[in-house]
Amino acid sequence: MAFLKTQAEVDASRIGLWGISQAGWVATNAATKTKDIAFMIIVSGGGASPRETEMFAYRATFKHAGLSDAETAEAFKVIDAYFGFLSTGEGREQLVKQLDASKTSAWYQYAPLDRILPSPENRMNWSWVANWDPAPAIARIECPVFLMFGDLDMNLPTDVAVKQWRDGLNAAGNKDVTIMVFPGAAHGIRMGEHDARGRAPFAPGYSESMLGWLWQHVIEGEK
C-alpha cells in the first residue's frame, strides 16, 4: 500500500484489498496494521479460524470419499495429534509413528500429513494454523466490507465463517457490511466444482455483484 500511494495514477484514498480463500486471513491481519484500507472484498475466506477450516475440510473430504464413521474417527485421532504438535511442539515422534502406521489406512490418501509435517525447527512458522484466532482482528475492521461465500463449500465452514465475520464486524461497530451466500456454489463461488471437468463456472451474479458493489462503494461513494 505504501508503494501504491507513490504512484501518480493511484488514488491513495481508495486502495482496498481483494482476497480469496486463505487471503481472507491475510487481509484480516493486514487491516490491523493500517487504517488506510478503503474497502475489503473477501471471497470464500476468513471468519473461521485456520484450525476450524482445516478440520471442516478434512471432514468434508472424508464424507465425499465415502469413508465410514470408524475410518473418519481413526483419521481424526491422527489429525488431532498433528494439530497438537503444530500448537505446542510436543509429540512429534509419536505422531511420526502414527503416520507411518496409517499409510495403509483408507483415509491416508486424503490426508497424507507426513508430506506437510514441519521439522521441529520450522514448526513455529506453522503454529498459526493451529492457534490463530481471527476474531480480534475482525473486530478492528471499520472499512466497507463485501463478503461472498458458497453454501456448498467443502474447504470452508460457510455457516461458521459468516457468523464469526458478522459477530466481529458488529463488535467493530461496522455497519457497512454486505454478505452474500450463493446457492449451489463451492469454494471460489464456482458451480459444480467437485464434479466438473476443467475449470467450473462462477455462480450466476458473482461478477456483477462484485462490480456493482465496487461502483456503489468506491466510485459513486466518492462523488
* Domain identity same for 122 and 194: no
* Domain identity same for 91 and 197: no
199, pLDDT greater than 80: no
Residues 6+ apart with CB under 8 A from 21: 43, 44, 45, 155, 156, 187, 188
Residue 184 lies in a domain: yes
Which ranges in the chain belong to alpha helices (H)? 2-5, 23-30, 50-65, 69-88, 92-101, 127-131, 135-138, 158-171, 206-214
pLDDT at 213: 96
Mean model confidence pLDDT for the chain? 93
195, pLDDT greater than 70: no
* Domain identity same for 56 and 158: no
pLDDT tens profile 203-217: 999 999 999 999 999
The three-state secondary structure class of 221 is helix
Residue 12 lies in a domain: no
* Domain identity same for 104 and 142: no
* Domain identity same for 194 and 116: no
* Domain identity same for 78 and 140: no
pLDDT at 198: 62
pLDDT at 185: 94
pTM of the model: 0.88
State which residues form the domain around 148.
Answer: 17-27+38-48+134-163+172-222
Mean pLDDT for the stretch of residues 17-22? 95
* Domain identity same for 110 and 62: yes
Q: What percent of the chain has pLDDT over 70?
A: 96
Q: What percent of the chain has pLDDT over 90?
A: 87
Residue 208 lies in a domain: yes
* Domain identity same for 186 and 145: yes
Residue 5 lies in a domain: no
Residue 6 lies in a domain: no
pLDDT tens profile 35-70: 899 999 999 999 999 999 999 999 999 999 999 999
pLDDT tens profile 85-125: 999 999 999 999 999 999 999 999 999 999 999 999 999 99
pLDDT tens profile 141-182: 999 999 999 999 999 999 999 999 999 999 999 999 999 999
Residue 189 lies in a domain: yes
223, pLDDT greater than 60: no
* Domain identity same for 54 and 149: no
